[in-house]
């Protein structure tokens, strides 16, 4: 089986990059396949053009999406699962990933008369500088999950999982202390992606 990974981080020197690498090792070690869109390496343009806006605003599917958008949509429809891996910036995904949804989730593909396949699984792996307890205390985790699971992925995958790796900011002593354990968790998610039964909206 194949997973399409949408990876978004501006630095190669990051925990998020190591987390992505560990997740990929788990996938390949389980005998499955992956393909990846590294949005920064691709220099993916997150800005919707006026033409793209008007196409979706008037619910028109007569105009073909841009070539880079069609390429992403084809990757989705050739996969069995999708994974989003990114750092939390101000309780959101990086602007480049938010723009990826703006442009790739087009009318006639992700909504309306959809041509997007129903994926078996969707998983979000994100690194946060704050602790999970902090994100829960201030309702930030719930906001993140509502946007990703309740809006962007709702009705587009049979099973969904939201995994947060907290305390990953560089000055936090827990970053190094939990480093190996967190990477093992990412590896396990990749290795068991097509084996485990996930709970919709579960955050670990």
What are all long-range contacts of 135-140, with beta carbons under 8 Å and residues at least 24 apart?
135/164, 135/166, 140/91
| Amino acid 202: pLDDT | 40
Domains of the chain: 2-45+75-90+116-203 (3.40.50.360)
**Res. 176 pLDDT band, cuts 50 70 90:** confident
Mean pLDDT, rounded, for 35-40? 98
Mean pLDDT, rounded, for 127-134? 93
**Percent of the chain with pLDDT strictly greater than 70:** 96
What is the token pair recorded at 65?
């999406």
Taking alpha carbons only, the member of 166, 160, 165, 148 closest to residue 105 is 148
Q: Examine the pLDDT at 197 and tell me if it is beyond 70.
A: no
DSSP letter (8 states) at residue 152: I
Q: Examine the pLDDT at 200 and tell me if it is beyond 60.
A: no
Decide which of 80 and 172 is more confident.
Answer: 80
| Amino acid 59: pLDDT | 96
**Res. 171 pLDDT band, cuts 50 70 90:** confident
The lowest-confidence range among 136-140, 175-179, 196-200 is 196-200
**Res. 198 pLDDT band, cuts 50 70 90:** very low
**Res. 174 pLDDT band, cuts 50 70 90:** confident
One-letter-per-residue 3-state SS of 85-137: EEECECCECCHHHHHHHHHHCCECCCECCCCCCCEEEEEEEEECCCCHHHHHH
| Amino acid 196: pLDDT | 59
Mean pLDDT, rounded, for 87-99? 97
3 state SS of 72: helix
What is the token pair recorded at 132?
């999970």
Phi, psi of 187 (to 5 degrees): -60, -45
DSSP letter (8 states) at residue 11: -
């Amino acid at each position: 089986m194949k997973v399409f990974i949408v990876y978004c981080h501006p630095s190669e020197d990051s925990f998020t990059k190591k987390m992505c690498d560990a997740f990929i090792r788990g996938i390949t070690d389980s005998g499955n396949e992956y393909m990846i869109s590294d949005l920064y390496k691709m220099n993916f343009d997150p800005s919707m053009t006026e033409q793209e806006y008007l196409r979706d605003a008037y619910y028109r599917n007569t105009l073909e999406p841009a070539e880079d958008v069609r390429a992403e949509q084809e990757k989705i429809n050739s996969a069995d699962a999708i994974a989003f891996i990114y750092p939390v910036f101000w309780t959101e995904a990086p602007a480049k990933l938010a723009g990826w949804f703006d442009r790739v989730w087009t009318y006639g593909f992700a909504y309306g008369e959809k041509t997007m396949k129903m994926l078996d699984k969707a998983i979000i792996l994100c690194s946060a500088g704050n602790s999970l307890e902090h994100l829960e205390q201030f309702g930030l985790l719930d906001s993140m999950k509502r946007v990703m699971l309740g809006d962007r992925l709702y009705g587009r995958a049979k099973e969904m999982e939201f995994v947060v790796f907290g305390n990953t900011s560089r000055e936090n002593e827990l970053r190094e202390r939990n480093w190996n354990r967190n990477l093992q968790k990412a590896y396990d998610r990749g290795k068991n992606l097509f084996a485990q039964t996930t709970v919709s909206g579960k955050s670990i």
